[in-house]
Amino acid sequence: MSTTYKDEAGVAAMRVACRLASEVLDYLTPFVQPGITTGEIDRLAAEFMVKQGTVSATIGYQPNGYPPFPAHLCTSVNHVVCHGIPGDKVLKKGDIVNIDVTVIKDGWFGDTSRMFMVGGEAAASVQARRLCEVTYDAMWKGIEVVKPGATLGDIGHAIQTFAEGLGFTVVREFCGHGIGQRFHEDPQVLHYGRPGTLQVLKEGMTFTIEPMINAGKRDIKEMGDGWTIVTKDRSLSAQWEHTVLVTPTGYEVLTLSAGSPATPDFVRAAAVSA
């Protein structure tokens, strides 16, 4: 498979699919409360996708060597790194949960995830809150590097140095990815790396940046269900994800909607001084 470059029509279609994916998260936000199960969140999302005219990209998704994914989104709670399967797990006050939504609209894919602190920020431990914030900022450290001529290694380096500099670790086994008329396209977007290495970014590329950051060691293991990834040391893990477009002068974040959290101050300051 090779990298695809989107023309104007492709970009327009990506904008729609990506906004719709983000709107699923907006819709789910008020429901992410103590007492709800991850399976109920999945059910709510499935109903909402029907209303918005999208199809979940995850249900039945079956990469080589995997069983079909059985739900409309992923819910990854506390020490779950990614690909958590919704089910009868009850969310409780103080949990942190990543909800990862990928929808298909008119054949185009939009992929985004956010962290939620169950019961509100005040319910989370200091470490959990810090991990969620640092992971959000780490995603944006990667995003702000994006422009034609920058490299994938520049993105990974920005994320890694930021997160490790604050005492957190970066999961290596999973990465961001090209996306378009397929869920997972080239290139792989690593969340660690060296400046100036790997593929050069070009206008029209669309890919995700989705760092998984751990409070403890970076090592992971897979659970017996063939999907769920957890930290080996059972430390907390967080993830945020946006789908971005490489524009002639920089980037456009495609997975934005009314409920998206504010862009970090360091990104806005950089935009003003540019």
For 14, the token pair is: 């990506």
Burial, 4: exposed, middle or buried (Cβ in 10 Å; 0-12, 13-18, 19+)? middle
CA–CA dist 134, 152 (Å, integer) = 21
* Residue 252 in contact with ligand MF3, rule: CB under 6 A: no
Closest approach of Cβ 131 to ligand MF3, in Å? 19
* Residue 185 in contact with Co ion, rule: CB under 5 A: no
Site string for ligand MF3, 31-60 (x = CB under 6 A): ---------------------------x--
Indicate which of Co ion, ligand MF3, none lies near residue 103 (CB less than 5 to 8 Å, by partner kind): none
Count the alpha carbons within 13 Å of 6 in the hemisphere toward its beta carbon.
Answer: 25
Site string for Co ion, 86-105 (x = CB under 5 A): --------------x-----
* Residue 23 in contact with ligand MF3, rule: CB under 6 A: no
CA–CA dist 233, 262 (Å, integer) = 32
CA angle 183, 61, 29 (to 5 degrees): 75
Q: Judged by CB, which is closer to Co ion: 209, or 230?
A: 209
Among 23, 42, 95, 111, binds ligand MF3 (CB under 6 A): 111
How many residues in the shown chain lie near ligand MF3 by CB under 6 A?
A: 12
Site string for ligand MF3, 73-92 (x = CB under 6 A): -x--------x---------
241: helix, coil or strand? strand
Query: 59-97: string of b/e by CB count within 10 Å (b at 16+)?
Result: bebeeeeeeebebbbbbbbbbbbbbbbbeebebeebbbb
Helices 152-165 and 126-143, packing angle to 10 deg: 160
Closest approach of Cβ 256 to ligand MF3, in Å? 17
Dihedral pair phi/psi, residue 86, rounded to 5° = -60, 145
Among 23, 42, 210, 252, binds ligand MF3 (CB under 6 A): 210
Whether residue 248 has a cis bond before it, omega within 30° of 0: no
Confirm if 40 and 223 have CB atoms less than 8 A apart: no
Q: Judged by CB, which is closer to Co ion: 170, or 265?
A: 170
Q: Judged by CB, which is closer to ligand MF3: 70, or 119?
A: 70
Site string for Co ion, 241-270 (x = CB under 5 A): x-----------------------------
Residue length of the chain = 274
Q: Judged by CB, which is closer to ligand MF3: 71, or 96?
A: 71
CA–CA dist 264, 117 (Å, integer) = 18
To which residue do tokens 């490299």 refer? 151
| Binding positions for ligand MF3, rule: CB under 6 A | 58, 61, 69, 74, 83, 100, 102, 111, 208, 210, 227, 241
Binding site for Co ion (CB under 5 A): 100, 111, 208, 241
